[in-house]
A = this chain, B = another copy of it.
Amino acid sequence: MDYSLISHSPLFKGLVPEETLSILSGISFRTKKYRAGSMIAQAGEPVTSLMVVLEGRVRGEMVDFAGRVIKIEDIPAPGALASAFLFGSANRFPVNIISVTDSGLLLITKDELIKLLMLNDNILLNFLNIISNRSQFLSEKIKFLSFKTIKGKLSHYILQKAGPDGDSIVMDMTQTELAGFFGVARESIARALHDLDAEGCISSKGKRVRIIDRRALASYVGDH
């Protein structure tokens, strides 16, 4: 395993490679390689180590009571796995973890990680940032899911992106991605966008959306 991959992982961000090396020499850790398609962890298994994807891409698959896959999330390098489940009261993988491509993971046990965090404030900050960002992502997602209507979700997305003064945004996701993020059908995004345009709230063309009637647009964001 290439050490430069480790030193470029988010846990060691901001450290010069030499510093990372010297720190790593003081703790025990290991790296592990997985073949494309192989199972890295099963839902329900205890999470005992921090796992960082150094290369390749892994996938979390939620499995329902009937054994069907109901939700997937891809984690490309460099990203951390199940970072919110190493600490806290639930210490088991909430999903199956599968290696999509050939991949390489960095494993640091919980005890060693704690040592590491207390040793170097930069690494501590990095780790806190990793799990906080995860939490912020989930918060944001819940905010969107709690709008009942698609026009509500879309309006919120547009207004948030535009900021208090902006009158035009460029969507940073495809409609397909937006649909996945909102948990709705792709066609419904297209329809809502079209309707908002027809009603004179926005002017939508490709990825660019111009806000025409901010008041009317904002009124949709109340649908909770």
Chain A, residues 124-143, CB within 8 Å of chain B (1/0): the string is 11001101111110110111
In the complex, are the beta carbons of A145 and B145 less than 8 A apart? yes
Q: Is A22 interfacial (CB 8 A cutoff)?
A: no
Chain A, residues 48-80, CB within 8 Å of chain B (1/0): the string is 000000000000001011101011000000000
Q: Is A32 interfacial (CB 8 A cutoff)?
A: no
> Main SS of the interface on chain A?
helix
A95 vs chain B, min Cβ distance (A): 10
In the complex, are the beta carbons of A68 and B222 less than 8 A apart? yes
- Chain-B contact segment, one of A113-121, A171-179, A190-198: A113-121
Chain A, residues 172-212, CB within 8 Å of chain B (1/0): the string is 00000000000100000000000000000000000000000
Q: A124-B117, A145-B146, A218-B65 are in contact. Are A135 and B135 (CB under 8 A)?
A: yes
In the complex, are the beta carbons of B142 and A145 less than 8 A apart? yes
Among residues of B, the one whose C-beta sits closest to the C-beta of A217 is: B65
A121 to B112, CA, bound (A): 12
In the complex, are the beta carbons of B221 and A128 less than 8 A apart? no
Count, chain A residues at interface, CB 8 A: 48
In the complex, are the beta carbons of A90 and B124 less than 8 A apart? no
A139 vs chain B, min Cβ distance (A): 6
Q: Is A25 interfacial (CB 8 A cutoff)?
A: no
- Chain-B contact segment, one of A13-21, A81-89, A98-106: A81-89
For A141, list chain B residues within 8 Å (CB): 142
For A148, list chain B residues within 8 Å (CB): 183
- Kindly identify which residue among B94, B118, B217 contacts A118, using a CB–CB cutoff of 8 Å: B118
In the complex, are the beta carbons of B71 and A132 less than 8 A apart? no
10 A-B pairs with the lowest CB-CB distances in the bound complex, closest first: A88-B132, A84-B135, A65-B218, A138-B138, A87-B132, A87-B128, A70-B224, A88-B133, A145-B145, A135-B135
